[in-house]
Structure 1
Amino acid sequence: MNITILANRDLHANIALNLMRPLFKQHQITLFLSESVGLAKPDWRIPQALQQLKFIEQGVFNQVITPLVEQQKHQHRYLSFNELGALSGNGCRVLENINSPVGLDVFKSSQPDLVLSIRFGKIIKAPIIAIPKLGVLNLHSGLLPQYQGILTTLHALIAGESQVGCTLHFIDSKEIDTGNIIEMASIDVDKSRSLFGHVLKLYPAGTKMIMNAIAKLAQGQSLASGAQDVSKQHYFGLPETQHFETLERRGFKLWQQEEVLQVLKHYLAMETMAKLGAW
């Protein structure tokens, strides 16, 4: 099966792809990346807390961890995006303007039977959706239909939910997070875990749903799905400073050093970790 993966160049998307590495041997994979998410409103100012998350998930990951990873010789580690592209045999390319005529042509060249979207930062429009015969699947880091949009784990924690989760659903229009739901997975909220830590915990279950869906499609089965309850849909846009202040009042940290260290252990040899010193 020809599978085109659309992902964002960030830590969480990279972890998800590493959890799905068997696909790179079982199918023909093409990997395209976005490097930013959405378009900010003219009057929106990025909250300091969101800058911190972006620094860890994109800045540190792409500028520090990735170069170190690609110097590591030991085999039992996560791969960088470039290494995953090499594993597929098709490389890894940035495709920021996927809906432009040039972007569409590049996308078409992958000849996808199926498209997977994992944290991809751009809206996927009708000309893209029409190409793969098996459709476009999106792994959304929120429980639909109540938590559509951006960083919905933040809003679920603010709302006092006992569980947070992720949803595998079809993308069938340019409307965000509205397509038919295939499957959902949840984890219990843990006050000892940060926002960053809760998001991390979503991807083992989320990628398992993707792997199960692809196995069914590879066997010629269709994916059962159900329409979302429109009356329960709620979209969350770019977060504001007050959202993070409420998160702190709820007793949740933004991120924790121990959680970042656990992530690094998947990528770096122990001797490299020791050389970092400051950790």
Structure 2
Amino acid sequence: MRIVFMGTPDFAVPALEALYKAGHAISGVFTQPDRPSGRGNKIKASPVKVFAEENGLAVYQPAKIKSPEAVTLLKSLEPECIVVVAFGQLLSKEILAIPAYGCINVHASLLPAYRGAAPVHWAVLNGETKTGVTTMLMDAGLDTGDMLLCRDYPISSEATTGELYDVLARMGAELILETLDGLVAGKIKPTPQPEQFTYAPLLTREHEQIAWSWHAEQIHNRIRGLNPWPGAFTFFRGEQVKIWQSSVAAQQLGWDTPAEKIPGLIIGLENGALAVQTGSGILYVQELQPAGKKRMHAPDFYNGYRLKSGEIFG
């Protein structure tokens, strides 16, 4: 099939690679313009662009995909299908009408749950036990189109967003091939999404800060949900500290005086982790990163900072 591919981050690369290796004719790859990245603000190409150029695929980077110039270009490529994976721009009705097989999106959730920009993050943040990948026939709305195929995947209580992200990217690559084959064979019937849906908005700085008044499990979900990006943070001695790894204590540790129930109180070092009081339950913190420093294990943090009795996160 003659395909135009649209995608930007590393999540989209496995799908593009699968289409390329399966022998589909990829007439063009559209990705976001190169942007400054990292501490030095060096201009960096997207992972999709890097893969496309390494494999001799034509790359296009319009600032606005809805512009008349971009639409004219798309029409000239004569795609039978446009495959979209985390592209980062909405398509116009004019673009949606170009390919005979439509525009197909690979979305990292079980629609209609978690429409929007950060479905993997929010599934973990909310403590979901299952997520997956859905292919859908795009319409003018945000992730509102008819569903084609879906595949689910369990989320363990310790899984991070990064771990899940990699698994779902590979699943999405497999599913888009299956979807295209099914459409060509006439074996897939688009299914309207149910009316009830949830939304996965972009993450903000407010989402990143830990509230120690929460239940230990909520904080644990926040930490793993923001790992590896952007990271959950708190404050210690007035400076920001990111927390990368944690677990929930199976039982209370025996500290039960009122003073020791202060949310954020660092109770002590227990089994190689910092035991921290939350609004309900004890959280073990295993890996931290003070501002401007490398990640460190809890014992190194405890000893390096010479923690004193009664010190608090937050």
Deviation at 1:162?
A: 0.3
Within a 5 Å distance, the mapping from 1:1-279 to structure 2 comes to 1-8=1-8, 10-23=9-22, 25-35=23-33, 62=44, 80-84=51-55, 86=56, 88=57, 91-172=58-139, 174-219=140-185, 221=186, 223-230=188-195, 232-245=196-209, 248-250=219-221, 251-252=223-224, 254-255=226-227
Number of aligned residues? 221
Deviation at 1:107?
A: 1.2
Separation in 1, partners of 2:120, 2:46: 26
Higher RCO by CA contacts (8 Å cutoff, separation 6 or greater)? 1
Contact kept? 2:104, 2:135, Cα under 8 Å: yes
Return structure 1 stretches of 4+ with deviation > 6 angstroms. 63-67
Residues 93/113 of structure 1: CA separation in 2 closer, same or farther (3 Å cut): same
Separation in 1, partners of 2:169, 2:156: 16
Larger strand proportion, structure 1 or 2? 2
Contact kept? 1:140, 1:168, Cα under 8 Å: yes
Residues 65/212 of structure 1: CA separation in 2 closer, same or farther (3 Å cut): closer
Amino acid at match of 1:243: H
Amino acid at match of 2:10: L
TM-score (norm 2): 0.62
Contact kept? 1:137, 1:170, Cα under 8 Å: yes
Contact kept? 1:147, 1:235, Cα under 8 Å: yes
Separation in 2, partners of 1:101, 1:167: 30
Larger helix proportion, structure 1 or 2? 1
Separation in 2, partners of 1:244, 1:3: 38
Name the larger-Rg structure: 2
Separation in 2, partners of 1:190, 1:60: 37
Separation in 1, partners of 2:161, 2:219: 10
**Structure 2 segments unaligned to the other structure (5+ residues):** 211-217, 230-293, 295-314
Contact kept? 2:3, 2:79, Cα under 8 Å: yes
Residues 256/102 of structure 1: CA separation in 2 closer, same or farther (3 Å cut): closer
Residues 65/104 of structure 1: CA separation in 2 closer, same or farther (3 Å cut): closer
Contact kept? 1:7, 1:13, Cα under 8 Å: yes
RMSD: 3.3
Residues 100/66 of structure 1: CA separation in 2 closer, same or farther (3 Å cut): closer
Separation in 2, partners of 1:65, 1:237: 23
Amino-acid identity (%)? 21
Separation in 1, partners of 2:110, 2:26: 30
C-alpha distance after superposition, 1:149-178 (max 9, x if no partner):
011111111221101222111102x21000
